[in-house]
Amino acid sequence: MSRTSIVKVLKSESSPGEIQVKGWVRTKRDSKAFSFIELNDGSCLANLQIVADATLDGYEENIVHLTTGASVAVTGNVVESQGKGQRWEMQATAIEVLGTADEDFPLQKKGHSMEFLRSIAHLRPRSNLFGAVFRVRSRMALAIHQFFQDQGFVYVHTPIITASDCEGAGEMFRVVTMNGDEIKLGDDEFFGKPSYLTVSGQLEGETFACALSDIYTFGPTFRAENSHTSRHASEFWMIEPEMAFCDLERDMDMAEAMVKYLVSDALENCADDLAFFGKFVDKGLIERLEFVRDRPFARVSYTEAVELLTASGQGFEYPVEYGHNLQSEHERYLTETQFKCPITVYNYPADIKPFYMRKNDDGKTVAAMDVLVPGIGEIVGGSQREERVDVLRANLEEHGLSEEDYDWYVDLRRFGTVPHAGFGLGFERLLMFVTGVQNIRDVIPFPRTPGSADF
Ligand code: 4AD
Ligand code: MG
């Protein structure tokens, strides 16, 4: 008999009859004549209740000794549950123990700290919280593809190893080969020049947008910034759409539409998991997500944002000053206190932004935009790209970059240049927003952060 998933059993309209389920024992309660086993297979949050009669084969030898964490295959009949809280339960006719669990299985009791659970990242997906997080992660990946593919965007795989520092921040991991302990550099360098793990697929994405019009990337990106915050990881995933024949206005519209679409998809398709987060992780979650889905985002220019922050009279740790980056505390004040909704901030000073952003007519600002959301701050960063070859060349020079290294990028402006724009959505930041989980380490299966690359 082939295995039926527990989610399928629990969502059945009528009893599926005699079937087999397989999973891990969450808890077991024994009475004189039978045991109740709460079985979970990760297909959904809920457990399937198994009634194991004392007359079952192997009951005394095996079944009564089952402990939390053990794995079993259960054959039986799905019947209407007598108990409260579930519609279906299973009356076992045979239980095969696949694997017992040693008594030091760490997920016995509830109430472990998130820090402790991170130290057992190989077992934490078996907890309610992490099972839910990673089901939502999977669903959101699908929804991202759906969002773009429905609009005719082409999915492009940009390289993970690259020679260019898209963001120009120099916070990159270098790729080297080794001969024993000796690292090969210079003339021995594997690719003939220094290469790195990509910080962004944008530049390569632009080449494809300048051929296929609407494209997106969705893949891992790497940053060697030494940030010990709850919102930065050294390895994270980014979604980067790039649109030809597109200006900043449409770019902002796209980013807003995408965030709304994903929130709406999660509310619709991850209802049980979100309800769990709403109960145990973040009480205001569902209300906030519905609000985000239903209401437009606010939009302010960087200059207006600085004015609002200055006028707020708030004592910030970092002073607000025109020409400086907005700090996380500023971003959060704007979205949480000032506007009480997601906001898009646009037209940042050119001096604090990378070389590829399009210069505005004022000569001071660039057509950049960030989407900020309550609880997190920046979730999207994007811009219209500089499509004028002379201005781009000047930008490269201003940023101390050589045209030689970016000749292919400049070529896009020499051969049929077009206005184009795009953005990057941090996948993990989106997941934090959708689940209410506070630390980026808890929405990544095996997080990599400064000083930590376990598993
Ligand atoms: O704002 P960023 O640096 O923009 C870019 O990389 C552009 N090339 C995107 C583009 O226009 N195609 O990064 C984009 C987003 C941020 O808004 C944030 O959500 C996320 O990526 N992000 C991080 N997420 C987790 N850990 C980090 N260290 C992150 N750095 C950026
Ligand atoms: Mg940014």
- The CATH number linked to 331 is 3.30.930.10
Q: Is 164's C-beta closer than 6 angstroms to any atom of ligand 1?
A: no
Mean pLDDT calculated for residue range 361-371? 97
- Inform me whether the pLDDT recorded for 331 exceeds 80: yes
Q: What is the residue with the minimal CA distance to atom 28 of ligand 1? A: 232
* Confidence band of 397 (pLDDT split at 50, 70, 90): very high
Mean pLDDT calculated for residue range 420-428? 98
| In a shared domain, residues 128 and 95 | no
Mean pLDDT calculated for residue range 196-224? 98
Question: Any idea which ligand is nearest the CA of 206?
Answer: 1
Q: Is 8's C-beta closer than 6 angstroms to any atom of ligand 1?
A: no
Look at residue 194 and tell me if it is in a domain: no
83: domain CATH number is 2.40.50.140
CA of 362 to the centre of ligand 1 (A): 26
| In a shared domain, residues 129 and 94 | no
Q: Please, which residues have CB within 8 angstroms of residue 272's CB and are 6 or more apart in sequence? A: 44, 45, 46
Mean pLDDT calculated for residue range 205-227? 97
pLDDT of residue 111: 81
Helical residues (DSSP H) of 270-344, grouped into ranges? 271-280, 285-294, 302-311, 328-332
pLDDT of residue 154: 98
Specify the number of domains making up the chain: 2
Look at residue 76 and tell me if it is in a domain: yes
Kindly state the helix (H) or strand (E) to which residue 265 belongs, with its residue range: helix 248-269
Helical residues (DSSP H) of 63-221, grouped into ranges? 114-119, 128-149, 202-212
Q: Is 58 left (phi over 0), alpha (psi -120 to 50) or beta?
A: left
Q: Is 428's C-beta closer than 6 angstroms to any atom of ligand 1?
A: yes
Burial 438-447 (b: 16+ CB within 10 A, else e): bbbbbbbeeb
Mean pLDDT calculated for residue range 178-197? 91
Contact 200, 424 (CB under 8 A): yes
pLDDT of residue 34: 94
Q: Is 449's C-beta closer than 6 angstroms to any atom of ligand 1?
A: no
- Inform me whether the pLDDT recorded for 441 exceeds 90: yes
Q: Is 167's C-beta closer than 6 angstroms to any atom of ligand 1?
A: yes
CA of 238 to the centre of ligand 1 (A): 7
Q: In the chain, what percentage of residues exceed pLDDT 70?
A: 100
Against a cut of 0.95, is the pTM above it? yes
Residues with beta carbon < 5 A to ion ligand 2?
381
Determine the structural domain holding residue 394 and report its residue range.
124-153+215-442
CA of 419 to the centre of ligand 2 (A): 21
* Confidence band of 333 (pLDDT split at 50, 70, 90): very high
| Separation CA 366–CA 374 (nearest Å) | 25
| In a shared domain, residues 309 and 427 | yes
Question: Any idea which ligand is nearest the CA of 326?
Answer: 2
Strand partners, 89: 49, 79
pLDDT of residue 71: 98
| In a shared domain, residues 95 and 226 | no
- Inform me whether the pLDDT recorded for 109 exceeds 80: no
Q: What is the residue with the minimal CA distance to atom 31 of ligand 1? A: 426
- Inform me whether the pLDDT recorded for 270 exceeds 80: yes
Mean pLDDT calculated for residue range 95-115? 93
Helical residues (DSSP H) of 68-160, grouped into ranges? 114-119, 128-149
Give the atom of ligand 1 at the shortest distance from the alpha carbon of 380: 17
| In a shared domain, residues 394 and 438 | yes
* Confidence band of 110 (pLDDT split at 50, 70, 90): confident
* Confidence band of 1 (pLDDT split at 50, 70, 90): confident
pLDDT of residue 83: 79
Mean pLDDT calculated for residue range 247-263? 98
* Confidence band of 69 (pLDDT split at 50, 70, 90): very high
Q: In this predicted model, what pLDDT tens digit does every residue of 154-167 receive, in sequence order?
A: 999 999 999 988 88
* Confidence band of 242 (pLDDT split at 50, 70, 90): very high
Look at residue 453 and tell me if it is in a domain: no
SS3 of residue 404 by DSSP: coil
| In a shared domain, residues 149 and 82 | no
| Separation CA 336–CA 375 (nearest Å) | 7
Question: Any idea which ligand is nearest the CA of 239?
Answer: 1
| In a shared domain, residues 147 and 87 | no
Q: Please, which residues have CB within 8 angstroms of residue 371's CB and are 6 or more apart in sequence? A: 255, 256, 259, 297, 342, 343, 344, 378, 379, 380, 423
| Separation CA 19–CA 11 (nearest Å) | 14
Mean pLDDT calculated for residue range 354-363? 97
Q: Which of 144, 197, 238 to mutate to test the pocket of ligand 1 (most atoms within 8 A of CB)?
A: 238
Angle at which helices 202-212 and 407-414 pack, to 10 degrees?
A: 30
- Inform me whether the pLDDT recorded for 278 exceeds 90: yes
Q: What is the residue with the minimal CA distance to atom 29 of ligand 1? A: 232
Look at residue 251 and tell me if it is in a domain: yes
pLDDT of residue 82: 83
Contact 437, 281 (CB under 8 A): yes
- Inform me whether the pLDDT recorded for 20 exceeds 80: yes
Q: Is 202's C-beta closer than 6 angstroms to any atom of ligand 1?
A: yes
Mean pLDDT calculated for residue range 332-339? 94
pLDDT of residue 179: 87
Q: Sign of the CA dihedral 153, 154, 160, 166?
A: negative
Tokens for 366? 């660039």
Contact 389, 383 (CB under 8 A): no
| In a shared domain, residues 219 and 70 | no
Look at residue 357 and tell me if it is in a domain: yes
| In a shared domain, residues 374 and 260 | yes
Centre a 10 Å sphere on the Cβ of residue 109 and count the other Cβ atoms it contains.
7
Q: Which of 153, 156, 204, 236 to mutate to test the pocket of ligand 1 (most atoms within 8 A of CB)?
A: 236
| In a shared domain, residues 35 and 141 | no
Look at residue 414 and tell me if it is in a domain: yes
* Confidence band of 57 (pLDDT split at 50, 70, 90): very high
Look at residue 161 and tell me if it is in a domain: no
Mean pLDDT, the chain, integer = 96
